[in-house]
């Protein structure tokens, strides 16, 4: 079935049907860059190339040098954004104090996922991604 727009009823129907059998939802680009990924919490997500990645490659600008914000049909509020940090084991997590953070180390090769107050966590890998929410 080809759909140009998903409604909340469609999301609910897909979630319900996925309990009975395996379902595939195909979407253009990266589902986690202003896409459908945020709606499917239990799904396995395989991203494609997003318009953000394509635009930055054409401009020869590193993704780490920009702030990407989706302002389609919503008000832009910079203070209500999460922060994603690429880090090594020397990064000082204590700058976040007791704030809850998420850490993924060695993604795709022995992946380790940690969640908790920054003061309780320690980076063990030189390939770490840290997420700090709002």
Give the model confidence (pLDDT) of 22-72 as tens digits: 988 887 778 887 788 888 878 888 888 888 888 889 989 899 888 877 766
Q: What is the pTM of this model?
A: 0.65
**Per-residue pLDDT at 89:** 95
**Where in the chain are the domains?**
1-73, 82-134
End-to-end alpha carbon distance in the chain: 37
CATH for 82-134 is: 3.30.950.10
Low-confidence winner among 45-54, 96-105, 106-115 (lowest mean pLDDT) = 45-54
Q: Annotate 109-124 with b (16+ C-beta within 10 A) or e (fewer).
A: eeeeebeeebeebebe
pLDDT greater than 80 at residue 125: yes
Share of the chain above pLDDT 90, in %: 33
Structure confidence at residue 78 as a pLDDT band (50, 70, 90) = low
Instruction: Name which of 79, 82, 68 is nearest 35 in CA terms.
Output: 68
Mean pLDDT along residues 94-107: 93
Backbone angles phi, psi at 22, to 5 degrees: -75, 135
């Amino acid at each position: 079935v080809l759909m140009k727009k998903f409604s909340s009823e469609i999301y609910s129907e897909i979630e319900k049907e996925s309990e009975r059998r395996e379902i595939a939802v195909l979407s253009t680009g990266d589902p986690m860059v202003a896409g459908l990924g945020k709606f499917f919490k239990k799904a396995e997500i395989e991203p494609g190339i997003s318009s953000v990645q394509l635009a930055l490659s054409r401009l020869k600008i590193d993704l780490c040098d920009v702030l990407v914000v989706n302002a389609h049909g919503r008000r832009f509020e910079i203070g209500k954004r999460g922060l994603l940090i690429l880090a090594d084991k020397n990064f000082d997590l204590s700058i976040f104090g007791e704030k809850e953070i998420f850490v993924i180390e060695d993604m795709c090769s022995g992946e380790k996922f940690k969640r908790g107050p920054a003061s309780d966590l320690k980076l063990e890998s030189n390939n770490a991604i840290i997420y700090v929410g709002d």
